[in-house]
């Protein structure tokens, strides 16, 4: 794809095919999403059906052909080599006469060269350029005519063929002073070279998105009927065993049944080093097995986290919502308007007595200088660069209009568990003899509750059986023939078991703030107690304090009792169930723009209500909750990096659009008034597109990449600077 209008052409061509319901293509990533009827077509049919009019289509699972790049480079070399000779001959014989520096009579001594050999060489070389170098342009124009959607190639084709055709007629008439082969040669060369560098810049801008798409393995290796075979993911059965070897991508989410491996999870979590996974561990689809071999049991839902993430990012990249949709419509309506304008102004010049030569030059300059590609590139290329930069930093942007959101916020709301805290419970105090700890740990291994998991890690010496669960209260099980209970005071009350006052006295109220008491007992009496607490996330106090310098901070928590976080906030809401959090966000929005930061597990309604929502956690869970920004991992200060990156991308988009408007508002009137030569019009047009490409491809601010180098409290000034970046 070499122009944003290719999106419309490919979509129209695809939707005319019986069995294809919808085609949505993205110029920035050279990718198309196809919705088709499986009763009429298969996925393998699509490349052949869609490879029409010069567009070569392949499935994402297939490697891209290397020769495409080589062919484009060869076309650039051919264009520049031939055009250089053409321009040198013009410079030697014709430009001096056009400028009045040399009179035609002075060329009589070399008449055979100036009026015979040179024009013939120019004609032959330009003809080769038109036939070979101009082929992609003419093909794109023909596709536009076939589909009834005019594009940039139509403008260029008319300009090139008009200049070449007029000059060819004059060449055979012997009128060497009326040759404009240089216009055709220059336009083709500048456009071809510009598109080559533009394609390279687009590939760089969407590099990380390409990695994500390529990492999603659409095939899975399974054993059926005693033989190892490879099947598409959609044919994989829930619960089926999948074999993954070193160097391969894990196709879907699932639990490891056999083997162990070092797995690269950086695309999903930002973790720079491979992690070791073994029996019973959850393996995420799209991650890469670096070393070892595993057999995995596919989850009931066979969509991988990587597939879900790829779909989300595709939607962001290809969305035509908001300003992006407006820009696309402007770019697509631009070409017909320019054609009418160029024809009208040429007719006006001709009828006003300026002559055919002047009228043609003005029309050509108008056609060439008009650049809908500048509009078409402005947003998608900057968006691709922003997505790519975010992915490199472990930040996932999931909202299609993320770059149109507010850049300043009056209120910032924090969820507590999983955001300010890690969500991992740990035993902070234990008042129990060794046998009580061992029995409690054995019983708690039968429960999946976070508090049970914390207590179960204290000892591994005993085993429990016959568990009797009391959801939210605790569990009773047998340990070496003895019935042991572990749970809350309520559980012991239900059982009618006694909790000695001496045991309660060892946990004064001040010590239980932010913690949960659990008791262990047998023979109708508690013999020990544990205090478990949620672990605070590192640097949360500094993050909240610095945000509080610029906005009101609000704490939302489902816990009904104080936990030690409250003092850091301007406003606190405790005991708020997930369904009520959205109401608080709506209330805060009355005072201005609201941003919400949550862990993404149960905050979906509130995240959806906020003007900007940031979530921590696994991409699959977060995708369902539609947060605007996902930050996997544990680094809360990354929110400043995310805000800085979004703000910087917004600036790039506005710069691109501003330049596109300024360029067209300046260049088109100059061409219409006859002040712009077609040669300079070609240079201006390609320079305009390349400027947008260069601006979009520039490195975005690094933001908070060095948070792990030192405690946040020692770098507050750095953070304040980044906060300023995020706002500006």
Residues with catalytic function: 415
In the numeric block, the tokens 């794109």 are attached to 140
Question: How many whole angstroms separate alpha carbon 330 and alpha carbon 334?
Answer: 6
DSSP category for residue 275: E
| CA-closest candidate to residue 183, choices 95, 69, 120 | 95
Q: Which residues contact 121 (CB under 8 A, 6 or more apart)?
A: 85, 89
Mapped onto helix, strand or coil, the DSSP state of residue 465 is strand
* Token duo for residue 209: 């998105």
* Backbone phi and psi for residue 250, each to the nearest 5 degrees, phi listed first: -75, 125
Question: How many whole angstroms separate alpha carbon 385 and alpha carbon 697?
Answer: 6
What strand order describes the sheet that includes 474-479?
421-431, 525-536, 515-522, 482-487, 474-479, 465-470
Q: Which residues contact 203 (CB under 8 A, 6 or more apart)?
A: 210
* Backbone phi and psi for residue 703, each to the nearest 5 degrees, phi listed first: 65, -135
Based on its alpha-carbon atoms, the radius of gyration of the chain, rounded to whole angstroms, reads: 34
Task: Count CA atoms closer than 13 A to 487's CA, side-chain side.
Answer: 26
Q: What is the 3-state secondary structure (H, E, C) of 320-353?
A: CCHHHHHHHHHHHHHHHHHHHHHHHHHHHHHHCC
Note the maximum CA span of the chain: 123
* Token duo for residue 437: 């700890």
DSSP category for residue 438: H
Four-residue CA torsion sign, 251, 254, 260, 266: positive
Q: What letters, b where the CB count within 10 A reaches 16 and e where it falls short, cover 10-49? A: bbbbbeebeebeebbbbbbbbbbebebeeeebeeeebeeb
In the numeric block, the tokens 């993954």 are attached to 244
Question: Helices marked H in 111-246 — which ranges?
Answer: 111-112, 118-128, 135-147, 152-173, 181-205, 207-215
Question: How many whole angstroms separate alpha carbon 95 and alpha carbon 133?
Answer: 24
Question: Helices marked H in 23-103 — which ranges?
Answer: 46-50, 67-93, 95-98
Q: What letters, b where the CB count within 10 A reaches 16 and e where it falls short, cover 474-509? A: bbbbbbeeebbbbbbbebbeebebebeeebeeebee
* Token duo for residue 498: 């006694």
Residues paired with 552 in a beta bridge: 411
**Burial class (CB within 10 angstroms; exposed 0-12, middle 13-18, buried 19+) of 271:** middle
Q: Which residues contact 73 (CB under 8 A, 6 or more apart)?
A: 196
| CA-closest candidate to residue 611, choices 626, 622, 595 | 595
* Token duo for residue 27: 């110029």
Question: How many whole angstroms separate alpha carbon 427 and alpha carbon 416?
Answer: 19
């Amino acid at each position: 794809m070499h122009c944003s209008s290719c999106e419309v052409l490919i979509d129209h061509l695809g939707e005319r095919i019986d069995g294809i319901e919808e085609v949505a293509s993205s110029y920035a990533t050279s990718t198309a999403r196809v919705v088709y009827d499986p009763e009429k077509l298969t996925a393998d049919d699509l490349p052949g059906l869609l490879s029409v009019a010069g567009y070569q289509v392949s499935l994402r699972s297939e490697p891209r052909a290397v020769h495409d790049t080589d062919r484009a480079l060869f076309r650039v070399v051919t264009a520049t080599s031939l055009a250089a000779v053409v321009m040198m001959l013009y410079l030697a014989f014709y430009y001096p006469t056009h400028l009045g520096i040399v009179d035609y009579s002075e060329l009589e001594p070399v008449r055979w060269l100036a009026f015979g050999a040179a024009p013939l060489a120019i004609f032959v070389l330009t003809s080769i350029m038109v036939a070979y170098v101009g082929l992609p342009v003419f093909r794109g124009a023909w596709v536009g005519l076939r589909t009834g959607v005019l594009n940039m190639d139509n403008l260029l084709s008319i300009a090139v063929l008009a200049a070449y055709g007029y000059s060819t007629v004059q060449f055979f008439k012997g009128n060497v002073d009326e040759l404009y082969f240089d216009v055709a040669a220059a336009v083709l060369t500048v456009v071809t070279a510009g598109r080559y560098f533009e394609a390279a810049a687009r590939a760089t801008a969407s590099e990380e998105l390409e990695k994500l798409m390529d990492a999603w393995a659409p095939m899975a290796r399974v054993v059926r009927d005693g033989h190892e075979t490879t099947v598409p993911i959609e044919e994989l059965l829930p619960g089926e065993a999948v074999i993954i070897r070193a160097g391969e991508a894990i196709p879907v989410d699932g639990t490891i049944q056999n083997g162990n491996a070092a797995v690269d999870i950086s695309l999903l979590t930002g973790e720079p080093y491979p992690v070791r996974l073994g029996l019973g561990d959850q393996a995420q689809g799209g991650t890469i097995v670096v070393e070892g071999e595993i057999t995995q049991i596919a989850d009931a839902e066979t969509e991988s986290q990587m597939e879900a993430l790829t779909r989300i990012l595709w939607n962001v990249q290809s969305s035509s919502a908001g300003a992006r949709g407006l820009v696309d419509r402007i770019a697509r309506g631009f070409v017909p308007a320019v054609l009418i304008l160029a024809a009208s102004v040429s007719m006006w010049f001709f009828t006003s007595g300026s002559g055919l030569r002047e009228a043609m030059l003005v029309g050509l300059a108008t056609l060439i200088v008009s650049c809908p590609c500048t509009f078409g590139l402005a947003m998608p290329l900057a968006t691709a660069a922003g997505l790519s930069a975010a992915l490199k930093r472990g930040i996932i942007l999931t909202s299609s209009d993320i770059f149109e959101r507010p850049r300043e916020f009056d209120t910032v709301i924090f969820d507590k568990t999983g955001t300010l805290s890690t969500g991992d419970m740990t035993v902070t105090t234990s008042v129990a003899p060794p046998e009580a700890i061992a029995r409690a740990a054995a019983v708690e291994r039968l429960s999946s509750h976070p508090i049970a998991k914390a207590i179960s890690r204290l000892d591994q010496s005993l085993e429990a059986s016959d568990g009797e669960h009391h959801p939210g209260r605790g569990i009773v099980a047998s340990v070496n023939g003895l019935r042991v209970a572990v749970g809350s005071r309520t559980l012991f009350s239900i059982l009618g078991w006694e909790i000695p006052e001496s045991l309660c006295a060892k946990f004064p109220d001040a010590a239980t703030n932010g913690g949960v008491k659990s008791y262990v007992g047998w023979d109708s009496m508690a013999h020990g107690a544990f205090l478990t607490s949620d672990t605070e996330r590192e640097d949360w106090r500094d993050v909240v304090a610095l945000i509080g310098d610029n906005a009101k901070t609000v704490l939302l928590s489902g816990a009904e009792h104080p936990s030690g976080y409250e003092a850091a906030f301007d406003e606190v809401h405790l005991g708020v169930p997930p369904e009520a959090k959205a109401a608080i966000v709506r209330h805060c929005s009355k005072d201005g723009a609201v941003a919400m930061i949550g862990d993404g597990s149960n905050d979906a309604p509130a995240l959806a209500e906020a003007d900007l929502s940031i979530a921590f956690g696994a991409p699959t869970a977060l995708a369902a909750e539609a947060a605007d920004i996902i930050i996997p991992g544990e680094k809360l200060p990354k929110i400043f990096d995310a805000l800085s990156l979004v703000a910087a991308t917004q600036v790039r988009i506005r710069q691109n659009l501003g330049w596109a408007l300024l360029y067209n508002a300046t260049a088109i009137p100059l061409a219409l008034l006859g002040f712009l030569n077609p040669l300079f019009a070609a240079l201006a047009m390609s320079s305009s597109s390349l400027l947008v490409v260069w601006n979009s491809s520039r490195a975005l601010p690094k933001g908070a990449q060095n948070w792990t180098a030192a405690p946040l409290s020692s770098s507050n000034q750095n953070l304040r600077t980044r906060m300023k970046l995020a706002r500006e």
